[in-house]
Structure 1
Amino acid sequence: MNDTKQKLIQITRQMIDDQGIDAISMRELGKEMNLSRSAMYRHFKNKDDLLAAIVAENFEMLTGNISKIIESVNDPRKLLYAILYTYFDYGVKNQEHYRLMFRKHWDKELYPALHYSAFGIFKLVERCLEKAGNIRKSPTQSTAIMYAFIHGLVELHSAQHSESEKGLDNPIHLIDSFLDLIFI
């Protein structure tokens, strides 16, 4: 990847971290980098293409983190706990990036690599459940249920719905209790 393109990704990432996704505009990025409008569009045909490049990097990072966990944790329950906690931690610490990855609709035909990346992480988790063997549902169903749970937990936490009277104030305990529903 050329330096200008990587610099655009880096500055956009920083802008997302500082101001949120909605603050991103190709015009502002061009000003920030002192690039003409046509120079900007030589690297990315539009804002979504630029954001997709960032999402691709985010999926690579998340996949790498989960792969390291898989390599280092042998106990199936501890492994799945670590994976779920990694998702939760990433989601609450990187809310705007998480939103881009999991709440924005990415057209499968325009951005097949993003769908492939998301599906790849799903398959990683599914293989962990296949190896575990002592689960209540099929590995695919269990993975889908886990994803629904962890994405819901991230969303509740991000929306500041972590009330103790609802039992939502301790995500560590919730993740551990959730695994009781998955494992026999």
Structure 2
Amino acid sequence: MNDTKQKLIHITRQMIDQQGIDGISMRELGKEMNLSRSAMYRHFKNKEDLLAAITAGNFETLTSNIREVTENISDSRKLLYAILYTYYDFGIKNQEHYHLMFRKQWDKELYPDIYYSAFGIFKFVEECLEKVGNIRKSPTQSTAIMYAFIHGLVELNSAQHSESEKGMDNPNRLIDSFLDLIFI
């Protein structure tokens, strides 16, 4: 990847972190980088194409984080806890990027790399569950249930619905309690 394209991605990431996804405009990005309109569009055909590149990178980062944190864990419960907490932590610390990854519906035909990256994480978690073995449902069903749980937890906490009277104030305890439901 050339330097200008890489710099466009880097500056856009910073803009997303500071202004949110809706604050991104190709015109402002061009001004920020001192690039003409035609120079911008040589690298990305439109804003969605640029955001797709960022989203693909986000999936790579999340996958790398999960692989790194799980590579030396042999205890099955600790392994699943690490996966869920890594997802949660990524979602809370990178809310705008998380929304790009999981709220936006990306066209599989136009952006197959995003689809395969997202599916790759799912398959990795599913493979971990296959190795664990002592779970209530099939690895595929358990992975889907884990996804629904952790995405719900991220969304609730992002929206600041972490009321202690509902038991929502401690994500660590919620993840641990959720694992009680997964294991036999």
Tell me which interval the TM-score lies in, with the shorter structure as reference length: over 0.9
Specify the code of the residue in structure 1 equivalent to 2:10.
Q
Q: Please, what is the CA RMSD of the aligned residues?
A: 0.6
- The alpha-carbon deviation at position 68 of structure 1 amounts to 1.4
**How do 1:1-184 and structure 2 match up within 5 A?**
1-184=1-184
Specify the code of the residue in structure 2 equivalent to 1:23.
G
| Contiguous gaps of at least 5 residues in structure 2 | none
Aligned pairs, how many?
184
Q: List structure 1 runs of 4+ shifted beyond 4 angstroms.
A: none
- The alpha-carbon deviation at position 8 of structure 1 amounts to 0.3
Partner secondary structure for residue 77 of structure 1 = helix
Once residues 44 and 115 of structure 1 are traced to their aligned partners in structure 2, the CA distance between those partners, rounded to angstroms, is 19
Once residues 79 and 64 of structure 2 are traced to their aligned partners in structure 1, the CA distance between those partners, rounded to angstroms, is 15
Offset from partner CA, 1:67-126 (integer Å, 9 cap, x none): 112311111110000110000011011100000011111011110110000000000000
Once residues 93 and 70 of structure 1 are traced to their aligned partners in structure 2, the CA distance between those partners, rounded to angstroms, is 19
Once residues 48 and 154 of structure 2 are traced to their aligned partners in structure 1, the CA distance between those partners, rounded to angstroms, is 24
Once residues 85 and 71 of structure 1 are traced to their aligned partners in structure 2, the CA distance between those partners, rounded to angstroms, is 15
Once residues 5 and 95 of structure 1 are traced to their aligned partners in structure 2, the CA distance between those partners, rounded to angstroms, is 24
Partner secondary structure for residue 72 of structure 1 = coil
TM-score (norm 2): 0.99
| Contiguous gaps of at least 5 residues in structure 1 | none
- The alpha-carbon deviation at position 24 of structure 1 amounts to 0.2
Partner secondary structure for residue 45 of structure 2 = coil
TM-score (norm 1): 0.99
- The alpha-carbon deviation at position 56 of structure 1 amounts to 1.0
- The alpha-carbon deviation at position 152 of structure 1 amounts to 0.2
* Range that drifts further, 32-41 or 148-157: 32-41
Partner secondary structure for residue 29 of structure 2 = helix
- The alpha-carbon deviation at position 145 of structure 1 amounts to 0.1
- The alpha-carbon deviation at position 183 of structure 1 amounts to 0.4
Once residues 131 and 5 of structure 1 are traced to their aligned partners in structure 2, the CA distance between those partners, rounded to angstroms, is 40
